[in-house]
Amino acid sequence: MQRQRRKTAAMVAAGRNADETAIRQWLVTNIAAVLEIDAAAIDVKRPLEEYGLDSMQAVCLSGDLQQWLGRTIPETAVWDYPTIESLCKYLCRARMSA
């Protein structure tokens, strides 16, 4: 059953070259959209779970992030880096070492 699979949905990774500011902005916008709250109400230093994000939404978000950045993101990234600030730093670090 081993075979080459088609590449996951042919989407352009629009955030391939995003810098830290752009990544932070993307996270705030997209997390606000998932939670259906005003982006201005999100404090990047607060754990996202305190806003009512659940673990399933967190995994879905890692998938969206993966698509936007065009690289592999661990499924547990949003649990492991629970604030936007820490997640953003991790994503920038991970890119440098990639």
Partner 1 sequence: MTDPGTILGILERRTEDSQRIAYEFLQGDTGGPVLTYGELATRVGCLAAVLQDRSGERATLAYLPGLDFIIALLGCMSAGVIPVPVYPPMGARPERRASRILHVASDAESRLCLTTLSLRAALTRAFEEVIPGTTVLATDEFSAHNRASISISPDPDSLAMLQYTSGSTALPRGVMLTHRNLMANLRSIRESYGYHRETRGVSWLPPYHDMGLIGGILEPLYTGFPVVLMSPLFFLQNPWRWLETISHTRATTSPSPNFGYDLCVQKIPPESVGGLDLSSWDSAICGAEPISSATLRRFASTFAPAGFRMSAFRPSYGLAEATLLVAAPENGSEPSFQPFDRAAMERGKAEPSATCDARARVLIGNGQPAEGMTVRIVDPVTCCTADPGSVGEIWIQSPGVAAGYWKKPELTGATFHGYIAETGEGPFLRTGDTGFWHRHQLFVTGRIKDLIIVGGRNHYPEDLEMSVCESHEALRGVPGAAFSVQTEGQEMLVILHEVKRQVLKQEIAPDDLFRAIHGSLFGDDIRADAIVLLKPGGIPRTTSGKIQRHACRALFLQKELDIWAEWRSPRAVRAKLGEGRLPAPPTMLAVGSGGQEAG
Residues of the shown chain interacting with partner 1 in the complex, contacts defined by CB under 8 A: 1-11, 35-37, 46-47, 49-57, 59-60, 62-63, 66-67, 75-76, 79-81
Q: Which is nearer to partner 1, 19 or 52 (CB)?
A: 52
Q: Give me the least distance between CB of 21 and partner 1, in Å please.
A: 25
The 8 Å CB, 24+ separation contacts for 44-50 are 44/83, 44/84, 44/85, 44/88, 45/83, 45/84, 45/85, 46/83, 47/82, 47/83, 48/78, 48/82, 48/83, 48/84, 49/82
Shortest distance in whole angstroms from residue 58 CB to partner 1: 8
Q: Which is nearer to partner 1, 25 or 66 (CB)?
A: 66
